[in-house]
Amino acid sequence: MIEGQTNVRSSRFGAGAIDGLGSELGRFLVTTMDLPWRLAQPRLGGQPAGVLFVENMKIETLDRQLAAAPECDTVLAIGGGQAIDLGKYIAWKRGLRLVSAPTILSVDAFVTPAAGVRHGHRVEYVGQTSPDPLVIDYDLIRTAPRELNIAGVGDLLSIHTACFDWELAAGASRSEFPFRPEDVSAARAILADTMAKADAIRSCSDDGLRAIVEGYMRVNTLCLPVGHYRVEEGSEHYLFYELEERLKRPFMHGWIVGLGVHLLSRLQENRHEEAVAFMDQVGLRYQPADLEIKRADLAGSLANLRQYVTGRPDLWHTVIHERTITPAWIDQALAGLKF
């Protein structure tokens, strides 16, 4: 099915895949949140040794929860990104088997090795885990709001702008990593396969949900061996980082990445209409109105973007370094968006 090394040691896909899982795990600890736990518990079978609910992702909180967690053999993470990250953190720190059962596909935490934890006001990625198995229960995932599952395509759509950025950086001899055209081609094939499933993703059918999960897993086959996510992270994410620091609040990840793809594909002059048509077809929300971003804030963010990325040496060379964003460009770009 998927060629190459993914971060997923084994997987179980199917409607009802979580049913009875609890009776197979020995002594297990659950990490979750209220709503996903209420949905999953009656179907799980077996009695966990303990249940840890996400409080927040601060490192101090995680370490307190880690110290208080009961002895067990397996950590079963059930929920969205934070519940999965809490499970990853505990499994990593204690050297335990991890079983991940996402109940929503809005972020790719369930297939990535590291856990996102908060140190002060920056998120850092720590640890190394692989789900064994990854449990994709389509029925459970469909209990999440449709638009939030559809948000999962954001980090696949970002291949569109990120690969362009990497090519641009390589062409300017400014790539931070050895440029790998074969990885760019492979990433574009993942995006093409995702785009071909637009209607299935829009309806959140089994086929559509599987397309998102497999897309994430295939991206990992490219990114984990080289140790960076250049094929799926570029200028579209940098706009999001600027907005996050500017407005000091979180956003639905896939939606804000969608807004980034909208604006940065335009700056790149990179098949902008095609990218927007796909977002509309698949039902990905990306409008500033959906994200509650005011026009003045977005205009300010775009005007500051060059300065922002040059002030952060950890960010890669992208179109933002290459093309100047003028006030006239901002006016034109924002005219096509809803506030």
Between 103 and 158, name the residue whose CB sits nearer to Zn ion. Answer: 158
> Are 101 and 21 within 8 A, CB to CB?
yes
Count of residues engaged in binding Zn ion, rule: CB under 5 A = 1
Beta carbon of residue 6, minimum distance to Zn ion (angstroms, whole number):
18
Among 129-137, 149-157, 166-174, 262-270, the segment contacting Zn ion (CB under 5 A): 149-157
Between 137 and 155, name the residue whose CB sits nearer to Zn ion. Answer: 155
Binding of residue 165 to Zn ion (CB under 5 A): no
Helix axes 253-268, 272-282, angle to 10 degrees: 160
Beta carbon of residue 155, minimum distance to Zn ion (angstroms, whole number):
4
Among 119-127, 152-160, 299-307, 326-334, the segment contacting Zn ion (CB under 5 A): 152-160
- Using Cβ positions, the residue closest to Zn ion within the complex turns out to be 155
Between 85 and 137, name the residue whose CB sits nearer to Zn ion. Answer: 85
Between 76 and 261, name the residue whose CB sits nearer to Zn ion. Answer: 261
Between 29 and 219, name the residue whose CB sits nearer to Zn ion. Answer: 219
Query: Which residues from 75-134 bind Zn ion, rule CB under 5 A?
Result: none
Beta carbon of residue 222, minimum distance to Zn ion (angstroms, whole number):
15
Among 151-159, 171-179, 305-313, 322-330, the segment contacting Zn ion (CB under 5 A): 151-159
Among 50-58, 150-158, 216-224, 313-321, the segment contacting Zn ion (CB under 5 A): 150-158
Beta carbon of residue 236, minimum distance to Zn ion (angstroms, whole number):
9
Between 15 and 247, name the residue whose CB sits nearer to Zn ion. Answer: 247
Residue at token pair 């040691």: 9
Beta carbon of residue 254, minimum distance to Zn ion (angstroms, whole number):
8
Residue 18's contacts (CB-CB under 8 Å, 6 or more residues apart) are 40, 43, 44, 78, 101, 135, 137, 140
How many residues are given for the chain? Answer: 339
Among 12-20, 153-161, 176-184, 310-318, the segment contacting Zn ion (CB under 5 A): 153-161
Beta carbon of residue 256, minimum distance to Zn ion (angstroms, whole number):
9
Beta carbon of residue 213, minimum distance to Zn ion (angstroms, whole number):
15
Between 125 and 339, name the residue whose CB sits nearer to Zn ion. Answer: 125
Beta carbon of residue 290, minimum distance to Zn ion (angstroms, whole number):
17
Between 85 and 155, name the residue whose CB sits nearer to Zn ion. Answer: 155
Burial class (CB in 10 A: 0-12, 13-18, 19+), 99: buried
Between 25 and 162, name the residue whose CB sits nearer to Zn ion. Answer: 162
Binding of residue 155 to Zn ion (CB under 5 A): yes
Query: Which residues from 58-77 bind Zn ion, rule CB under 5 A?
Result: none
Q: Omega into 36 within 30° of 0, i.e. cis?
A: no
Among 55-63, 154-162, 172-180, 319-327, the segment contacting Zn ion (CB under 5 A): 154-162
Where does this chain bind Zn ion (CB under 5 A)? 155
